[in-house]
Amino acid sequence: MKEKNILTPPLSVLLLSLALLIAACGTTDTDQLQAQDETQQNETVTDSGEEARPGRSSDSPVRFTELRHPEKVDSVLSLMTMEEKVGQLNLLSSGFAETGPVLSDEYRDMIYESKLGGVFNAHTVEHTRELQRIAVEETRLGIPLLFAFDVIHGHRTIFPVPLGESATWDPELIKKASRVAAKEASAAGLHWTFTPMIDVSPDPRWGRIVESQGEDPLLNKLFGVARIEGFQGDDLSDVHTIMATAKHFAAYGEPNAGRDYHTVDISERRLREVHLPPFKAAVEADIRTFMTAFNEYDGVPATGSDFLFNQILRDEWGFDGFVVTDYTAIMEMMPHGYARDEAHAAELSINANVDMDMMSQIFLNELPGLVEEGVVHEEQVDMAVARILDMKFELGLFDDPYRYSDYDREAETIMRDDFLELALEVAQKSIVLLKNDDDLLPLAKDHDHVAVIGPLGDNQYDLLGSWSAAGEYPDNVTLLKGIEDMVSENTRVSFAEGAELDLEGDSRDGFDEALELARKADVVIMALGEGRHMSGEAASRTSMDLPGMQQELLEEIHATGTPVVMVLMAGRPLDIRWADEHIPSIVNAWYLGTRSGDAIASVLFGDHNPGGKLTFSWPHSVGQIPNYYYAKNTGRPKDPDERYTSKYIDAPNAPLYPFGYGISYTDYDYDNLQLSTDEIDDQGSLTVTVDVTNTGDVAGDEVVQLYTRKMVASVTQPIRQLRDFEKISLEPGETQTVTFDLQAEQLYYLDQQLDPVLEPGTVRVFVGPNVEETLEAEFEVR
């Protein structure tokens, strides 16, 4: 056990405490700032003879925020020099993990100089406690640091990647997983995580789809809120909670050509209908921080967008937390061709009410001079600092800077047994069974010989998936180990890698060994897919093929005649048309994290009946992308008998597997769809009921999905939109009546002026196990 470091408060902390005790009564500094700003709103700062700057808004009013701890924040702010203020706006990496070019390895010296407000990629009690000691004991004011990390799908206990977790269709379960991640992260000295990523993405070429909840706005909204509630809890001052971050604002999930960091060129209608709803829900869930997106929107890089951060986030939605940039995003406005130099980039970002600069250090270097020149109002800087200090008070860091740095709590919390059990449950419920001809699955546990073949069969490293925080690959249970633990003691389990995980690999060196095993086995389990770094940030692909020689290996193993089960592990849908035509059973297993092998084996051998459902439309081929279910109809809908209609001549319009799809070891029958009324007004509601029966021999979980379509409107509407769903459990032969309360409010859409309306007309209702297999009914809006 490490000895606890009991610290005596230094003079700087005592001075700060005194300032807090004598916080001004009556008018606060924030009130004074707002009054000063009201007199300055109409003043224009000009640069004589200087080229006009795009986005220049030096005369714009500061967006003042209703702080949670105004008197305390103001008392600290009043003690700070300009250099100390801009230091609070600076966020650097400690080097534990890197997501871009490291611009400074002198972050420790910068803490001594009060030039940092926070450090990310810093975790463990030992590391964070020492950095915090420098901040609170070795600086003039002793202002504590924020410690942040990308705790995306677990901290040390790793859960499935978010796209996999979304396949559970169970936000409450993912809230529990996020709660576990918060407990582990906070015990390791962290205050802040950069999640949830609620970028709606219809394009699996984009590598970061793995971090999303798929293509649907409602699911991104519900899972985003669940993660926020899991991380932040009911009280952020609770030492077991950490701040969450809504990212990336906004429209990052729809880059041109599916290429990461690329331009986004969409209408404001699509922005508001598809991309903004999850972020608005995050504000309503009281999320504390937002992160800027790398992309531009409407010709303006997001990090300098007055429209996104002032008009929408601050004014329309009333967001009262702080905004942090993504990695070097302020600096990147220069290659975008929007900022002419670093000073201009700082001006644009701070005036957009972006508060904290991750990695570029442009705020630190440029804001003092801009304030002195009158280009940026000092009140603007003060407000940014105030928002950050406010969160430090909210976390209790001024009361006890070391409250998150407790050696005993860290030792007792990391990878607890109950956390590992929850990781197994989430992994099991994330698995999607795509195909199971002739009921090949589940397998008997007493086969004489089971062959596990493929580069992911005995692979611990790639099971973590991208953004695996403090996860350590030796902790992971491989598929081979999971199977060995599952089968009878008399079953022989053999393994051959067969092929490498290599996008450009062409080696067949492992084929002979794999083929020999396959010919001798009763069944072959093929473990194929992508390596963990083939999806995620900066991992866009133009081909969805199985990397390297895996497709050839699969075809040759199939040719042996031994039954094959394909277990696919990846962070996106891959092109598996051949497998869908030839392989009897296909299990989509994502990257499931620490308990991967146990979870997959429990499905393969029938201890768990899979119930996961896709949260994206699995493309038939890459040429269909993007191919999302809520597309609109055309004036020439597909007609197979007419050439001049909207279709491909070499592929179907429909995806390989539709949105919401996933099968089970049992069957479900849908019947008796009923609406409580055949008409409502634009403020009304109705009840939708449907009977669902388990017609098979085993118990199972089913996700009952409700979609609607407004048949005629003043603005064309999607063919179908997910409105609600319910996950139910049914015993063999059991029938449940599932009830949905459909509110008119859920059906509103944006008219030609982008105002929400629900016009009179017919609404069609669809209920079923996925978006394509549904019962239908109609009602009228009067």
Task: Note whether 275 and 200 are within 8 A (CB).
Answer: yes
What pairing do the DSSP bridges indicate for beta strands 685-694 and 668-675? antiparallel
Is the preceding omega at residue 248 within 30 degrees of 0, hence cis? yes
Using N-to-C axis directions, what is the helix angle for 29-40 and 70-77, rounded to 10°? 80
The candidate with the shortest Cα–Cα distance to 550, out of 573, 572, 532, 575, is 575
Name residues whose C-beta falls within 8 Å of residue 593's C-beta, 6 or more positions apart in sequence.
153, 154, 157, 158, 159, 160, 161, 423, 427, 463, 464, 465, 468, 471, 476
Copy the structure tokens of residue 527: 């473990």
Copy the structure tokens of residue 178: 């996020």
Question: What gap in Å lies between CA 420 and CA 416, rounded to an integer?
Answer: 6
Instruction: Count Cα neighbours of 538 within 13 Å in the Cβ-side half-sphere.
Output: 6
The four Cα atoms 323, 326, 332, 336 give a dihedral, to 10 degrees, of -80
* Region of residue 361 (phi > 0: left; psi between -120 and 50: alpha; otherwise: beta): left
Copy the structure tokens of residue 604: 């393969």
Place of tokens 């949260």: 615
Q: Is the dihedral of CA 626, 627, 631, 633 positive or negative?
A: positive
Task: Note whether 246 and 290 are within 8 A (CB).
Answer: yes
Question: What gap in Å lies between CA 287 and CA 313, rounded to an integer?
Answer: 12
Instruction: Count Cα neighbours of 673 within 13 Å in the Cβ-side half-sphere.
Output: 18
Place of tokens 């001049």: 644
The candidate with the shortest Cα–Cα distance to 434, out of 271, 230, 570, 249, is 570
Name residues whose C-beta falls within 8 Å of residue 454's C-beta, 6 or more positions apart in sequence.
497, 498, 499, 526, 527, 528, 550, 553, 567
Question: What gap in Å lies between CA 354 and CA 49, rounded to an integer?
Answer: 28
Rg (CA), the chain: 28
Q: What are phi and psi of 687, to 5 degrees?
A: -105, 135
Question: What gap in Å lies between CA 457 and CA 480, rounded to an integer?
Answer: 6
The candidate with the shortest Cα–Cα distance to 294, out of 247, 224, 364, 354, is 247
The candidate with the shortest Cα–Cα distance to 158, out of 384, 377, 463, is 463
- What SS3 state is found at 187? helix
Q: What is the largest CA-CA distance in the chain?
A: 87
**Which residue numbers are catalytic?**
326
Question: What gap in Å lies between CA 386 and CA 70, rounded to an integer?
Answer: 8
